[in-house]
């Protein structure tokens, strides 16, 4: 059995080179988080003969990681212990980008920290930067070595330099950790392919089609267009391998405790280089169960609970962001529910808010958005919050259920189809320019690619040289940013959106990218374009200035601390989206007009939901209430207290 006493005894000799105070700290944290590590571990692996022995091995890795932890990071651990809500605060603002596309590499990033600071960024997510397989690597999500930086981007020493430079500016560093799969070129995979023990147990390998066929009966396809099926045959190995995503991404076998131990070791290695947030990629897929979709199985949450405990013991400054792009019911547990409350992810993508934003923009109706966000989401979480965003490097999947659509008398399939058509621009009257991603003729499922600005109408407006439409597109983009800055959680700005970067079709000329339309919204950052942010009147100046202003106003509003619950409000006026942040300090009522028309809400409505002060804290102007209504111009956003 696993007991705290035994764990202490296992760790003690490994810590003996440390000063007594450092040993004591480890011991206190082990005591605090022991059951959070041991209980899920035992639930997952307790039936195995080697469970206890493996657990000792895990503890040894935790102790070794603590011994290796550099002093400035131990200092950061203490800071985080003292201010555990640091990532929940209203001053948190994230920025997400590819190093090569932003400014070349890690060293290049150092030259651009002033730019990020100017925008108001306090959290920097480097898209995958660990050593990928050669050739197509799914944008770096096919990793062949977790302990090396992609040589095209720099070295591990450069990463440490960047982490330290960010820390000095009060910014934290987020890095991807892909834990559902490795590249088939990873050393573990190569050994497994050559049938070398113990690595054959690191992956899902089958000698014949019996099990793959049985699983396929209920699995869905993630990349049906370019990577159909969930298994790949390797003639040399004489085996089928589980490959949920691309052929070169081999799913790890998390029923093997050694996989957990290896990944925890990698995670702590990265934490000790100065990484403050790990973005745990594609976590929904980690556990397989016959007869299911093999997504969001309860064991996934046990694994994530254990991973979080490991960080809390050996690198407590590290927080976890879990990437699960799933339906609302399945999404909420990633921020900790039931026995995992307060113990699992600290951050998760609010993909439902993102999808509803685009759905409401297209329909000019906020009924479905309000219904979904009001009926499925708790008002707040323990030690966890959303990452709110409008766009990211991935496609938009129209995760709107038939039940939710049905509740409003809409057909789910028809609405999803409409959205896919609208955001390619092919639907009559659409302002959007985008493309389809992975349309699946079997299921009718279609997703979309496209940059924020192009999807929001800037590209079509520029094409038509229509100044009014340009102005409208700018308002849509700013309204969206005001939404993610106030809804609750850490707003993430996706690279270039602050300047209105448009779709980039050059990916079609790249052999490694042309099959994947997501590259159209991963453009190279254009620094000449960025310079125009200081030229008044330019699109860049309006967007950059507007977004910077929104973020600065967010930081001035204590009512936007993530612990302040978000409560959806119903208005009589369709097209308006409204919510209240009901924290103890300065409750805020936020209103958004999702249409190109003037809309109004009665002053009495505002008073009834608690508005006392008819000042918009976003524009810092007085709100007029002629005829006893709050009049909202097209795409308006106001924050009232
Ligand atoms: C995540 C990434 C996506 C990638 C997938 C497989 O969902 O965001 O870009 O394709 O994982 O690693
Ligand atoms: C699906 C998956 C997500 C992945 C994305 C890539 O949404 O759930 O993990 O990143 O597809 O397109």
CATH number, position 244:
3.90.400.10
| Residue 126, domain member (yes or no) | no
Q: Is the dihedral of CA 309, 311, 317, 322 positive or negative?
A: negative
Percentage of the chain beyond pLDDT 70 is 100
Among protein residues, the one whose CA lies closest to atom 2 of ligand 2: 325
Q: Given this model, what pLDDT does residue 448 score?
A: 98
Contact 29, 316 (CB under 8 A): yes
Residues with C-beta less than 6 Å from any ligand 1 atom: 138-139, 141, 178, 245, 281-282, 323, 393-394
Assess whether 85 carries a catalytic annotation. Answer: no
| Residue 109, domain member (yes or no) | no
Among protein residues, the one whose CA lies closest to atom 8 of ligand 2: 325
Q: Given this model, what pLDDT does residue 15 score?
A: 98
Q: Given this model, what pLDDT does residue 561 score?
A: 97
Q: Going by DSSP bridges, is the β-strand pair 123-126/172-178 parallel, antiparallel, or unpaired?
A: parallel
Alpha helices in 132-209 (DSSP H): 156-168, 187-193
Ligand 2 binding pocket includes 282 (Cβ within 6 Å): yes
Among protein residues, the one whose CA lies closest to atom 10 of ligand 1: 138
12 and 47 share a domain? yes
Contact 14, 68 (CB under 8 A): no
Q: Given this model, what pLDDT does residue 181 score?
A: 98
Ligand 1 centroid – CA 139 distance (Å) = 8
Q: Given this model, what pLDDT does residue 226 score?
A: 85
495 and 443 share a domain? yes
Give the burial class of 222: count Cβ atoms within 10 A of its Cβ; 0-12 exposed, 13-18 middle, 19 or more buried. middle
String of DSSP letters for 34-86:
HHHHHHHHHHHHTTSTTHHHHHHHHHHHHHHHHHH--HHHHHHHHHHHH-TTG
72 and 45 share a domain? yes
Residue 188 pLDDT level (bands cut at 50, 70, 90): very high
Whether residue 189 has pLDDT greater than 80: yes
456 and 579 share a domain? no
472 and 584 share a domain? no
Q: Given this model, what pLDDT does residue 24 score?
A: 97
Atom number of ligand 2 nearest to Cα 438: 12
466 and 576 share a domain? no
338 and 372 share a domain? no
Span of 201-215, 308-322, 622-636 with lowest mean pLDDT: 622-636
| Residue 527, domain member (yes or no) | yes
Q: Given this model, what pLDDT does residue 238 score?
A: 97
Last residue of a domain, one of 235, 251, 267: 251
| Residue 21, domain member (yes or no) | yes
CATH number at residue 365: 3.20.20.80
Q: Is the dihedral of CA 632, 633, 638, 640 positive or negative?
A: negative
Ligand 2 centroid – CA 371 distance (Å) = 24
Q: Given this model, what pLDDT does residue 195 score?
A: 97
| Residue 148, domain member (yes or no) | no
String of DSSP letters for 454-504:
HHTTHHHHHHTT-HHHHHHHHHHHHHHHHHHHHSSSEEEEETTGGGTPPP-
Atom number of ligand 2 nearest to Cα 326: 8
Q: Given this model, what pLDDT does residue 443 score?
A: 85
Tokens of 442: 């079997």
User: For residue 227, what are the domain limits?
Assistant: 181-251
Alpha helices in 280-389 (DSSP H): 298-314, 328-331, 351-363, 367-376
| Residue 142, domain member (yes or no) | no
Q: Given this model, what pLDDT does residue 401 score?
A: 94
Q: What is the pLDDT of residues 329-340, one digit of tens each?
A: 999 999 999 999
Q: Given this model, what pLDDT does residue 439 score?
A: 87
> Is the full-model pTM beyond 0.85?
yes
Residues 6+ apart with CB under 8 A from 375: 404, 407
Q: How far apart are CA 332 and CA 330, in angstroms?
A: 6
Q: Which residue has the tokens 């195995």?
A: 48
Among protein residues, the one whose CA lies closest to atom 6 of ligand 2: 394
Residue 481 pLDDT level (bands cut at 50, 70, 90): very high
Q: Given this model, what pLDDT does residue 1 score?
A: 73
355 and 479 share a domain? yes
Q: What is the pLDDT of residues 136-160, one digit of tens each?
A: 999 999 999 999 999 999 999 999 9
Contact 498, 539 (CB under 8 A): no
* Catalytic position from the list 281, 344, 421, 504: 281
Reported residue count of the chain is: 641
Residues 6+ apart with CB under 8 A from 15: 22, 23, 26, 63, 66, 67
Long-range contact pairs involving 368-374 (C-beta distance under 8 Å, separation at least 24) = 368/400, 368/404, 368/405, 368/408, 368/410, 368/415, 369/577, 370/568, 370/570, 370/577, 370/578, 371/404, 371/407, 371/408, 372/328, 372/400, 372/404, 373/568, 373/579, 374/568, 374/570
Ligand 1 centroid – CA 459 distance (Å) = 27
474 and 512 share a domain? yes
**For the chain, what is the radius of gyration of the CA atoms?**
25
pLDDT, mean of residues 33-56? 98
Q: What is the pLDDT of residues 46-79, one digit of tens each?
A: 999 999 999 999 999 999 999 999 999 999 999 9
Residue 355: nearest ligand to its CA?
A: 2
| Residue 102, domain member (yes or no) | no
Whether residue 227 has pLDDT greater than 90: no
Residues 6+ apart with CB under 8 A from 29: 312, 313, 314, 316
Tokens of 195: 């049938």
Ligand 1 centroid – CA 141 distance (Å) = 6
pLDDT, mean of residues 549-574? 97
288 and 220 share a domain? no
Q: Going by DSSP bridges, is the β-strand pair 277-281/319-322 parallel, antiparallel, or unpaired?
A: parallel
Q: Is the dihedral of CA 162, 166, 167, 171 positive or negative?
A: negative
551 and 628 share a domain? no
Q: Given this model, what pLDDT does residue 244 score?
A: 98
String of DSSP letters for 560-627:
GSTTS-EEEE--SSTTEEEEEE--SSS-EEEEEE-SSS-EEEEHHHHHHTT----EETTTTEEPP-GG
| Sheet strands side by side (includes 566-569) | 566-569, 576-581, 588-593, 637-640
Residue 449: nearest ligand to its CA?
A: 2
Q: Nearest Cα to 445, choosing from 416, 424, 423?
A: 416
Q: Nearest Cα to 273, choosing from 409, 69, 117?
A: 69
Among protein residues, the one whose CA lies closest to atom 9 of ligand 1: 394
425 and 574 share a domain? no
pLDDT, mean of residues 11-38? 97
Assess whether 281 carries a catalytic annotation. Answer: yes
Beta bridge partners, 33, equal: none
Give the burial class of 299: count Cβ atoms within 10 A of its Cβ; 0-12 exposed, 13-18 middle, 19 or more buried. middle
Q: What is the pLDDT of residues 581-635, one digit of tens each?
A: 998 888 999 999 999 999 999 999 999 999 998 999 999 999 989 899 999 999 9
Among protein residues, the one whose CA lies closest to atom 3 of ligand 1: 394
Q: Is the dihedral of CA 343, 344, 346, 348 positive or negative?
A: negative
Last residue of a domain, one of 517, 541, 557: 557
Q: Given this model, what pLDDT does residue 331 score?
A: 95
Q: How far apart are CA 588 and CA 487, in angstroms?
A: 10
| Residue 410, domain member (yes or no) | yes
Q: How far apart are CA 145 and CA 336, in angstroms?
A: 30
Percentage of the chain beyond pLDDT 90 is 96
Whole-number average pLDDT of the chain: 97
Q: How far apart are CA 562 and CA 490, in angstroms?
A: 8
Last residue of a domain, one of 195, 217, 251: 251
Q: What is the pLDDT of residues 497-543, one digit of tens each?
A: 999 999 999 999 999 999 999 999 999 999 999 999 999 999 999 99
Q: Given this model, what pLDDT does residue 441 score?
A: 85
pLDDT, mean of residues 394-398? 97
* Catalytic position from the list 36, 39, 323, 404: 323
Q: How many domains does the chain have?
A: 4
Ligand 2 centroid – CA 61 distance (Å) = 31
């Amino acid at each position: 059995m696993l007991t705290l006493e035994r764990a202490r005894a296992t760790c003690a000799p490994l810590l003996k080179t440390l000063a007594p105070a450092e040993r004591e700290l480890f011991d206190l944290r082990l005591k605090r988080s022991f059951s959070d590590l041991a209980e899920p571990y035992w639930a997952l692996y307790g039936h195995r003969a080697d469970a206890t022995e493996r657990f000792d091995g895990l503890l040894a890795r935790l102790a070794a990681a603590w011994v290796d932890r550099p002093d400035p990071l131990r200092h950061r651990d203490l800071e985080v212990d003292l201010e555990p809500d640091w990532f929940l605060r209203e001053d948190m603002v994230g920025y997400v980008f590819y190093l090569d596309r932003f400014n070349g590499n890690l060293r290049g990033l150092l030259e651009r920290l002033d730019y990020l600071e100017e925008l108001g960024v306090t959290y920097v997510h480097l898209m995958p930067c660990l050593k990928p397989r050669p050739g197509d690597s799914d944008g770096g999500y096919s990793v062949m070595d977790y302990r090396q930086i992609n040589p095209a981007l720099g070295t591990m020493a450069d990463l440490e330099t960047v982490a330290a430079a960010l820390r000095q500016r009060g910014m934290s560093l987020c890095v991807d950790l892909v834990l559902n799969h490795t590249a088939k070129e990873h050393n573990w995979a190569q050994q497994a392919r050559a049938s070398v023990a113990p690595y054959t147990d690191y992956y899902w390998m089958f000698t014949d089609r019996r099990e793959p066929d049985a699983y396929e009966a209920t699995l869905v396809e993630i990349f049906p267009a370019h990577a159909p099926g969930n298994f790949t045959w390797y003639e040399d190995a004489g085996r089928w391998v589980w490959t949920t995503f691309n052929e070169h991404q081999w799913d790890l076998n998390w029923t093997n405790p050694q996989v957990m131990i290896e990944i925890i070791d990698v995670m702590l290695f990265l934490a000790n280089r100065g990484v403050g947030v790990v973005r745990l990629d594609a976590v929904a897929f980690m556990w397989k169960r016959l007869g299911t979709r093999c997504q969001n199985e309860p064991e996934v949450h046990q694994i994530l609970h254990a991973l979080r405990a490991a960080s809390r013991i050996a690198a407590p400054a590290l927080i976890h962001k879990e990437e699960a792009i799933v339906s609302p019911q399945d999404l909420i547990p990633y921020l900790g529910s039931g026995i995992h409350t307060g113990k699992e992810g600290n951050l998760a993508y609010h993909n439902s808010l993102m999808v509803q934003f685009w759905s409401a923009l297209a329909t000019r109706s906020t009924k479905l958005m309000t219904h979904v966000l009001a009926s499925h989401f708790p008002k707040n979480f323990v030690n966890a919050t959303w990452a709110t965003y409008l766009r990211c490097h991935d496609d938009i999947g129209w995760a709107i259920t038939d039940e939710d659509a049905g509740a409003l008398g809409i057909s789910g399939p028809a609405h999803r189809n409409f959205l896919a058509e609208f955001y390619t621009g092919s639907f009559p009257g659409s302002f959007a320019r985008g493309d389809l991603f992975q349309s699946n003729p079997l299921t009718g499922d279609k997703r979309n690619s496209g940059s924020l600005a192009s999807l929001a109408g800037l590209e079509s407006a520029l094409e038509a040289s229509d100044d009014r439409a340009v102005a409208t597109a700018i308002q849509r983009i700013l309204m969206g940013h005001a939404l993610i800055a106030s809804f609750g959680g850490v707003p993430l700005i996706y690279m270039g959106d602050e300047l209105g970067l448009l779709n980039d079709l050059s990916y079609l000329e790249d052999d490694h990218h042309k099959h994947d339309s997501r590259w159209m919204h991963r453009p190279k950052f254009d620094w000449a374009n960025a310079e125009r942010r200081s030229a008044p009147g330019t699109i860049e100046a309006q967007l950059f200035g507007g977004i910077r202003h929104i973020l600065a106003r967010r930081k001035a509003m204590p009512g936007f601390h993530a612990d302040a619950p978000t409560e959806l409000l119903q208005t009589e006026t369709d097209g308006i989206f409204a919510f209240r942040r009901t924290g103890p300090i300065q409750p805020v009522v936020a209103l958004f007009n999702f249409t190109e028309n003037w809309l109004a809400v009665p002053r009495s409505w505002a008073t009834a939901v608690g508005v006392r002060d008819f000042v918009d804290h976003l524009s810092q102007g007085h709100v007029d209430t002629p005829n006893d209504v709050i009049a909202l111009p097209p795409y308006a956003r106001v924050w009232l207290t």
